[in-house]
Copies of this chain bind each other. A is one copy, B any other.
Amino acid sequence: MSGEPTNEAPVEEVSSMSVEEDDDFVDPWTVASKSATGIDYGKLIKRFGSQKVDDELIQRMEKVTGKPVHHLLRRGIFFSHRDMHLILNLYEQKKPFFLYTGRGPSSEAMHLGHLIPFIFTKWLQETFDVPLVIQLTDDEKFLWKDLTLEEAQRLAIQNTKDIIALGFDVNKTFIFSDLQYIGSCPEFYKNMLRVQKMVTFNQVKGIFGFGDSDCIGKISFPAIQAAPSFSSSFPHIFNGKKDVPCLIPCAIDQDPYFRMTRDVAPRMGCLKPALLHSTFFPALQGAQSKMSASDPNSSIFLTDTDKQIKTKVNKYAFSGGGTTTEEHREKGGNCDVDVSYQYLTFFMEDDERLAQIKKDYTSGELLTGYLKKELIEILQKIVGEHRKRRAEVTDEMVQQFMTPRKLNYQY
């Protein structure tokens, strides 16, 4: 990202375009921190101009929904938001909204980090009982990677099977590949154009760091990720209604797309989408980078065997423990940098058990080996169950989820 100031009206809510000022680098394609504890999320909130998910918001969510929030919210993994209070107002007034999330299908196998937004989105959908649209940006992957259109579309279908395996309700969920859907919905193309008319090259240069030698496909792509924020992009679901508000759960690196969307929405006569942002899922090697499908040793894939999971965790998961047992017993472990502990915060549902582990690891009573063993068991269970459900996803089910159709909601 160039950090170069734009000559245009600044995109709202962005206090600074530069994300390099304190060594953290965050854009939709790269996440890197020089700190062992990873990205400073407090600073990111300030820089991106979003709001912290604070106790007040969490308490309000529990109050209006009448159930405890998901542990990913409780533990600060979904840590930032935009306009979540407006969404809760709507819910209180029994007014409709919808959920939108997505995935760039760059690899055959999804990894654990890819699951997080979907696990959380599923909880949101079940809790608020709202329609969900899931965009697979196979066109983006074609533009950015050395992939053919056919391969990008094939990966989108493969990833769709993983998403379906998470148990989304087919009557409430529409999954679409851009390469299929844009050519079957004039309203979606019209929303792309509306956004493209309002955003200049200067602006995408400032927001995404595009340069003069980038292809024109990349330059106009942000409009394609913006379009699903508007209910009019899905006439089959919303019956042509243009004003159904949207809530987008996503990792914080996707925020630039939606800052841009929120900037243009009012000028299009549309509502700004609300957002819930997650932290990154760290690489096995530590929180300086996020898990990446292009580095197999950094990732645990949903296709990994029990043995591969065990080997990877034991071999690569960065330890916050002492270098010797003696040193560990004496000084204790550091949960802030220990990857096994970090992963447990994502996947271990039992709050008390997790607190106990933290306490005992920090004191030096528990060794890294114990945390790894605990984590391996949990991951083997999650991945194993996923593998089983994934095997049951048929082409017909994919077809069902991906067919533009009415969902079980009235508009």
A residues with a Cβ closer than 8 A to B are 7-8, 139, 142-143, 149, 179-180, 182-190, 193-194, 196-202, 204-205, 210-217, 219-220, 222-223
Contact A139 B201 (CB under 8 A): no
Residues of B within 8 A of A217 (CB): 193, 196-197, 220, 223
Contact A216 B189 (CB under 8 A): no
Q: How far is the CA of A199 from the CA of B7 in the complex (A)?
A: 24
Nearest CB to that of A189 among chain B residues? B183
Contact B213 A223 (CB under 8 A): no
**Contacts A179-B190, A197-B217, A216-B223 given; 19 further ones with Cβ under 8 A?**
A7-B213, A179-B189, A179-B193, A183-B184, A183-B188, A183-B189, A193-B217, A196-B216, A197-B215, A200-B212, A200-B213, A201-B210, A201-B212, A201-B216, A202-B213, A216-B219, A216-B220, A217-B223, A219-B220
Contact B220 A212 (CB under 8 A): no
Q: Return 10 A-B CB contacts under 8 Å, by A number.
A: A183-B185, A189-B189, A199-B215, A199-B216, A200-B213, A200-B215, A200-B216, A201-B201, A201-B216, A219-B220
Residues of B within 8 A of A139 (CB): 189, 193
- Majority DSSP secondary structure for residues of A touching B: helix
Q: How far is the CA of A223 from the CA of B196 in the complex (A)?
A: 14
Nearest CB to that of A216 among chain B residues? B220
Identical subunits present: 2
Contact A186 B193 (CB under 8 A): no
A123 shortest CB reach to chain B, Å: 33
Residues of B within 8 A of A143 (CB): 193, 196-197
Residues of B within 8 A of A200 (CB): 212-216
A95 shortest CB reach to chain B, Å: 27
A284 shortest CB reach to chain B, Å: 33
A399 shortest CB reach to chain B, Å: 15
Nearest CB to that of A217 among chain B residues? B196
A181 shortest CB reach to chain B, Å: 8
> Are A186 and B190 also in contact (CB < 8 A) when A200-B214, A215-B198, A216-B196 are?
no
Nearest CB to that of A190 among chain B residues? B149
A184 shortest CB reach to chain B, Å: 7
Q: How far is the CA of A139 from the CA of B197 in the complex (A)?
A: 10
Residues of B within 8 A of A179 (CB): 186, 189-190, 193
A208 shortest CB reach to chain B, Å: 11
A386 shortest CB reach to chain B, Å: 30
A105 shortest CB reach to chain B, Å: 15
Residues of B within 8 A of A185 (CB): 183
A264 shortest CB reach to chain B, Å: 11
Contact A202 B212 (CB under 8 A): yes
Q: How far is the CA of A194 from the CA of B149 in the complex (A)?
A: 8
The 8 closest A-B pairs by CB, nearest first: A183-B186, A196-B217, A220-B220, A183-B189, A216-B220, A202-B212, A201-B212, A197-B217
